[in-house]
Every structure is written in C-alpha cells, then in structure tokens.
C-alpha cells in the first residue's frame, strides 16, 4: 500500500511542470516532423487541430487516467483524487487544452485583423501577469503552482512520502566545472592573437631565414601573378620588398592583426608596405 502525504516540496511541483512542458515539446516535434514529411500542406493548414489532438491525448493518458501528469508521475506526486471531482476534471481538461487551441487558431486564421492581435496580446499579457502573481503566491504557500490549479482549487499529494528526493551531486559538479571552463574559454579566447601564434609555430618549423628583406626588390606583375596570401588575383597590388605581391587588404589586415607579419612564401618581415610600381 502506498503512503500519502499532503506535503509536496515546491521544487518537485515546479519540476513536474517543467517536465510536462519538455515531454509535450518532444512529442510535438516528433509528431509534426512526421506529418511534415508526409504532407507539409496538411500540417500548415491544420496545425492548431494537431496541437489540440496531441494535448488532448497527453491529458487523457496522464491526468484523465492516473490523476497525475507525466511530469508529476515521474516525481511520484499526483492530484488529490478527493478534490478532483468529475466537473473539476472536465474543467481542467478544457482549461489545459482550449486556450492554446483558441490562440493558435486566432493566430493562424485571423492573423491579419488588428483587433484580433490586440485581444491576443492583452490576453497573453494579463495571463502572464496573473501567472507571475500566482507564482509568488505559490512560493509563499507551497500549493497550487499553476493558474489552473489555483482556479480549480487543486492540491498535490506525494506518494511514498518517506522516499527522499535523490539529488545527483555528481551531475551538478560536472555542470559547474563545465560552466567554469566555458567562461574561462570565453574570456581567454579573444585575448589570443592567433596570427602571431601561427607565425611563431610556422617560424619554429620552417627553415626560412628571417630578415630576407634586407634588399628591397620591386616585383613585376604579369597575368599569372597571384597574391602570396590569398592566392587569388591581387586586388590593389602591394608588396613588402621581398619580391612577392599581395592584395592591399590581405597585407593591411594581416599587419593590423599581427605587427610582426612575415611573407608566407619567403619569411620576409613586412617593415614597409609599398605600392606596386605601375608598368609603362
Ligand atoms: Zn590577397
Ligand atoms: Zn616574400
């Protein structure tokens, strides 16, 4: 026999709501992607009806049958069956399913009308404010976390009251470590000058002698000349005296990112940017 307790931890009630939302979301995605692959036009036309069917099926399979939503069942809580009379059950079903259907329907079929949008936004805002007020009341009293529960006067009860809620501390620790690591990376990554690191690594492995640019050579451009950096036809050709030609933007961009930019082909340092002399 199961022992019952009228005390239900707030966190369990709140988690149950979150679970319900997630379960519905997963089912909705599966259902809609299946219908989408069968016939996209049917989905576009009857989306509110599919949503209504899905919500009704979920409600009937959970609260209608077990007096507890799937999220509540996962956390071993359920509605007090004595409070959940037939009329309240019907009202619960209508309040769960109909507002979303009315909203979807209005959004899809009466979208162009100004007054519909006004009513929709007013209703949504009012419900949001009421939910927030109800949430504060729930935090204080620990009962009736949703507006529907409040309106119908429904309380939750815990099955297996002796059973403690298991908290996975290993998951929390792992999450904290990951978050810390991500934050560190987000601070550190923009501070690293990749161009400079790249140049240093390249310089370490390549046999190019530095300072090849002791004597300045003005390169000559022909039809086959490509930029030494982007290997494309040079735009606004410039050089740094090593005999290789660059686009102006390739050169200027690289020097802006890394003051010690070297020619990628010969390793000459870019002391001075010079414009390519125009051939006669
Ligand atoms: Zn270029
Ligand atoms: Zn060069």
* Orientation of helix 40-61 relative to helix 10-38, angle to 10°: 150
**CA–centroid distance, residue 31 to ligand 1 (Å):** 50
Question: Which pLDDT band holds residue 31 (cuts at 50, 70, 90)?
Answer: very high
Q: Any idea which ligand is nearest the CA of 263? A: 2
Q: What is the pLDDT of residue 208?
A: 54
Query: For residue range 223-278, what is the model confidence (pLDDT) as tens digits?
Result: 899 999 999 999 999 999 888 999 999 999 999 888 888 888 888 888 888 898 77
Residue 197 pLDDT more than 90? Answer: no
Torsions phi, psi of 242, nearest 5?
-100, -5
Q: What is the pLDDT of residue 161?
A: 60
**CA–centroid distance, residue 191 to ligand 2 (Å):** 28
Q: What is the pLDDT of residue 5?
A: 66
Rounded CA-CA distance 257/253 in Å is 6
Residue that wins the pLDDT comparison between 207 and 38: 38
Residue 137 pLDDT more than 90? Answer: yes
* Orientation of helix 40-61 relative to helix 86-109, angle to 10°: 160
Q: What is the pLDDT of residue 1?
A: 41
Rounded CA-CA distance 217/182 in Å is 48
Task: Evaluate whether 77 touches 158 at the Cβ level (below 8 Å).
Answer: yes
Residue 131 pLDDT more than 80? Answer: yes
* Orientation of helix 248-257 relative to helix 194-205, angle to 10°: 100
Candidate CATH numbers 3.40.50.10740, 3.40.47.10, 3.30.40.10, 3.30.910.10; the one for domain 194-275? 3.30.40.10
Structure-token pair, residue 198: 């790249």
Question: Which pLDDT band holds residue 21 (cuts at 50, 70, 90)?
Answer: very high
**CA–centroid distance, residue 265 to ligand 2 (Å):** 5
Mean local confidence (pLDDT), 22-51: 91
Q: Any idea which ligand is nearest the CA of 240? A: 2
**CA–centroid distance, residue 238 to ligand 1 (Å):** 10
**CA–centroid distance, residue 144 to ligand 1 (Å):** 66
Question: Which pLDDT band holds residue 55 (cuts at 50, 70, 90)?
Answer: very high
Rounded CA-CA distance 41/17 in Å is 32
Rounded CA-CA distance 136/254 in Å is 56
Q: What is the pLDDT of residue 210?
A: 53
Q: What is the pLDDT of residue 193?
A: 84
Q: Any idea which ligand is nearest the CA of 229? A: 1
DSSP state of 234: P
Residue that wins the pLDDT comparison between 143 and 109: 143
Query: For residue range 148-195, what is the model confidence (pLDDT) as tens digits?
Result: 999 998 888 888 765 666 667 888 889 899 999 999 999 998 888 888
Number of Cβ within a 10 Å radius of residue 264: 19
Question: Which pLDDT band holds residue 2 (cuts at 50, 70, 90)?
Answer: very low
SS3 5: strand
Q: Any idea which ligand is nearest the CA of 268? A: 2
Mean local confidence (pLDDT), 45-54: 91
Query: Which of 147, 151, 107, 149 minimizes the C-alpha distance to 129?
Result: 147
Q: Any idea which ligand is nearest the CA of 233? A: 1
**CA–centroid distance, residue 256 to ligand 1 (Å):** 15
Q: Any idea which ligand is nearest the CA of 251? A: 1
Question: Which pLDDT band holds residue 200 (cuts at 50, 70, 90)?
Answer: confident
Q: Any idea which ligand is nearest the CA of 231? A: 1
Burial 225-236 (b: 16+ CB within 10 A, else e): eebbbeeeebee
Residue 212 pLDDT more than 60? Answer: no
Task: Evaluate whether 230 touches 247 at the Cβ level (below 8 Å).
Answer: yes
Q: Where are the domains of the chain?
A: 4-165, 194-275
Rounded CA-CA distance 9/231 in Å is 66
Mean local confidence (pLDDT), 72-88: 87
Structure-token pair, residue 210: 């530095």
Question: Which DSSP string do the residues of 134-199 spell out, in sequence order?
Answer: HHHHHHHH----SHHHHHHT--EEEESTTSPPP--HHHHHHHHHHHHHHHHHHHHGGGS-HHHHHH
**CA–centroid distance, residue 248 to ligand 2 (Å):** 14
Q: Any idea which ligand is nearest the CA of 236? A: 1
Q: List CB-based neighbours of ion ligand 1 within 5 Å.
A: 227, 229-230, 247, 250
| pTM of this structure | 0.57
What percent of the chain lies above the pLDDT cut of 70? 91
Helix (H) or strand (E) run with residue 123 in it = helix 114-141
Rounded CA-CA distance 257/124 in Å is 50
Mean of per-residue pLDDT scores for the chain: 86
**CA–centroid distance, residue 276 to ligand 2 (Å):** 14
């Amino acid at each position: 026999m199961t022992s019952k307790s009228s005390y239900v931890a707030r966190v369990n009630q709140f988690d149950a709501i979150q679970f319900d939302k997630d379960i519905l979301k997963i089912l909705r995605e599966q259902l809609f992607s299946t219908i989408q692959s069968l016939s996209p036009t049917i989905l576009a036309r009857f989306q509110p009806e599919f949503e209504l069917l899905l919500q009704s099926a979920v409600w009937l399979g959970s609260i209608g049958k077990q007096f507890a939503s799937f999220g509540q069942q996962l956390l071993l809580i359920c509605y007090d069956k004595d409070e959940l009379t037939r009329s309240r059950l019907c009202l619960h079903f209508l309040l769960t399913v109909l507002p979303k259907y009315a909203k979807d329907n209005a959004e899809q079929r009466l979208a162009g009308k100004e007054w519909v949008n006004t009513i929709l936004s007013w209703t949504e805002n009012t419900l949001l404010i009421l939910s927030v007020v109800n949430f504060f009341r729930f935090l204080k009293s620990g009962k009736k976390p949703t507006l529907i529960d409040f309106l119908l006067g429904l309380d939750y009860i815990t099955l297996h009251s002796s059973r403690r809620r298991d908290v996975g501390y290993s998951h929390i620790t792992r999450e904290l470590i990951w978050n810390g690591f991500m934050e560190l990376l987000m601070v550190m990554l923009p501070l690293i000058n990749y161009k400079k690191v790249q140049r240093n690594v390249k310089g370490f492995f390549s046999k190019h002698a530095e300072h090849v640019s002791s004597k300045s050579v003005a390169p000559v451009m022909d039809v086959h000349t490509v930029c030494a950096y982007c290997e494309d036809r040079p735009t606004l050709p410039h050089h740094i005296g090593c005999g290789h030609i660059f686009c102006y933007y390739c050169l200027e961009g690289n020097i802006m990112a890394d003051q010690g930019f070297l020619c990628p082909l010969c390793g000459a340092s870019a002391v001075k940017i010079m414009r390519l002399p125009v051939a006669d």
